[in-house]
Amino acid sequence: MPGVVPPLRFAKMHGAGNDFVMLDLRGGREAPDAALRRRLADRYFGVGCDQLIAITDPKRPEALAGYLIWNADGSVAGQCGNGARCVAAWLVRDGAARSQQFELDSPAGPIRVEALAEGGFRLGMGRPRFDAAAIPLALPGTGPTWQLEGPGGMVTFSAVSMGNPHAVIEVDSIVSAPVAQLGPWLQAQACFPQGVNVGFAQVLARDAVALRVHERGAGETLACGSGACAAVVALARLGRIDRRGVRVRLPGGELVIDWPDDAAEVMMAGPAEFVFEGEFIA
């Protein structure tokens, strides 16, 4: 019938508790507008998720597929490590991925994927970038840390781009860390013109970190893959932790991060799970 919008098929997935609404936009299907994205992400009146992810046709012939990311508030995101693993799992279940290794085109660039024998996926997340223009960060100096006068005193943080901007604050305890206070405050600072994901990291051992992340456009999430990469990179640069086999414990699960040296790309391994599938009546 004219004017009738067909139901929008989706899959609900999560990676270590970071949850997503997955859409198949291959074949040139139209992307949902910002209003529909917000409706889908709403946990009371929609499906509910931290981010929406659209699987798209690849940009490069060597890539299996591409993907787009939107935050729960409808805004565009540049990278999502947990989401990339869910894209990989979705493609395996769909039958499009017929080998253990393949590439994806993310908004931030190519992603190398390896399906693990024990389940889950290992991703090549690219090389971290520390130059202020790439993050972007509008503060003088070259790091590795910066300081701002915050609501409760001086706030010291590292900054890095993992295809999206991250600030990492080392804390004595993630239980008592002022995530709800400092996360939104730092995200609102003019020195981060594109906003920033704020990670609160507690060093547990040379190979273990506890982490909570307040994500731009989504709030605190149960896990953040690119945030886990950023935390390991930031702490490794400061000599606080090792570079290989670092277990990052997030509220929703655990990821394993490797960053062998400053010139290497960051590798991330973790789970990807299906929750349910359905149709959304717009």
Task: Identify the DSSP state of 5.
Answer: P
153 assigned to a ligand binding site: no
Q: How far apart are CA 143 and CA 140, in angstroms?
A: 9
164 assigned to a ligand binding site: yes
Minimal CA–CA distance to 77: which of 107, 109, 121, 47? 107
The C-alpha angle 167, 140, 155, rounded to 5 degrees, equals: 40
Catalytically annotated residues: 80, 224
Tell me which of 3.40.1190.20, 1.20.1600.10, 3.90.1150.10, 3.10.310.10 is the CATH number of domain 8-126+271-280.
Answer: 3.10.310.10
Helix (H, G, I), strand (E, B) or coil at 71: strand
Q: Write down the pLDDT at residue 1.
A: 46
Average pLDDT, integer, range 216-222: 95
Could you report the per-residue pLDDT of 63-97, keeping only the tens digit for each?
999 999 999 999 999 999 999 999 999 999 999 99
Q: What is the mean pLDDT of the chain?
A: 95
Minimal CA–CA distance to 207: which of 246, 236, 170? 246
Q: Write down the pLDDT at residue 5.
A: 62
Could you report the per-residue pLDDT of 102-123, keeping only the tens digit for each?
999 999 999 999 999 888 999 9
226 assigned to a ligand binding site: yes
Q: Write down the pLDDT at residue 142.
A: 80
Break the chain into its structural domains and give their ranges. Answer: 8-126+271-280, 146-264
189 assigned to a ligand binding site: no
Q: Write down the pLDDT at residue 91.
A: 98
Average pLDDT, integer, range 186-201: 97
- Whether 8-126+271-280 and 146-264 share one fold: the answer is yes
CATH architecture of 146-264: Roll (3.10)
